[in-house]
A = this chain, B = another copy of it.
Amino acid sequence: MESLDQLISALNRLPGIGVKSAQRLAFHIISMGDDEAASLANAITDAKAKVHYCPVCGNYTENELCSVCADAKRRPDTICVVESARDVIFMERIHEFGGRYHVLGGVLSPMDGIGPDQLRIKELIERAEKDEVREVIIATNPDVEGEATASYLAKLLKPLGVRVSRIAHGIPIGGNLEYVDEITLSKSIENRREM
């Protein structure tokens, strides 16, 4: 069945969807009601057509500016730098950060041919040069590329007179010393706070 095989292979190309899951999903889709299957297909086409990058921060939006950049209540003096637009959702979930974002669109990774020009770094520098910006919080992931990107950005940003900070690394709340990896544990000692 060609059309079924095509659906399976299209689903299989999605991240985290193996052949077995793709088959299960495909069989589910063909057993769906006509309306439901059409609404899934439309949701894909629709989201793809409407969602684009915010020209200021690189976050996803359906409007001219993203919801954070368009919100006058968000402080323009603090910019949180994240790797991807998904990270904005995670940060927004804590309901604590009142500043703006800047989405890099990835991390420096010379092995994959991703240098500063492939990321939205020039745009970040331009934003940081404005008087109103006082602090840039670098929230790239705590892995090799994320740390290297953070160091690179710090070197570019500090001469501009902005405060550059890095999100804290340590043992997760509710975590257990036994199950935390050595690097995290050593970070948690290095970054210890006086009580």
Contact = CB atoms under 8 A, between A and B. Distances in A.
A47 to B, nearest CB: 4
A24 to B, nearest CB: 6
Query: A interface, by DSSP: helix, strand, loop or mixed?
Result: helix
Given A2-B62, A60-B1, A26 B41 contact: no
B23 A89 contact: yes
Contact of A44 (B7, B16, B48): B7
Interface string A1-21: 111101100110111110001
A39 interface: yes
The 9 tightest CB contacts between A and B, nearest first, are A7-B47, A37-B48, A10-B43, A7-B43, A41-B44, A41-B41, A3-B47, A3-B50, A30-B51
Size bracket of the A interface: 35 or more
Nearest to A48: B37
Contacts of A17: 25
Contact of A3 (B27, B34, B41, B46): B46
Contacts of A15: 24-25, 28
A119 to B, nearest CB: 15
A29 interface: yes
A32 B29 CA distance: 21
Given A41-B41, A86-B23, A47 B62 contact: no
A17 B15 CA distance: 12
Interface string A67-95: 10000000000000000111001000000
A52 B149 CA distance: 52
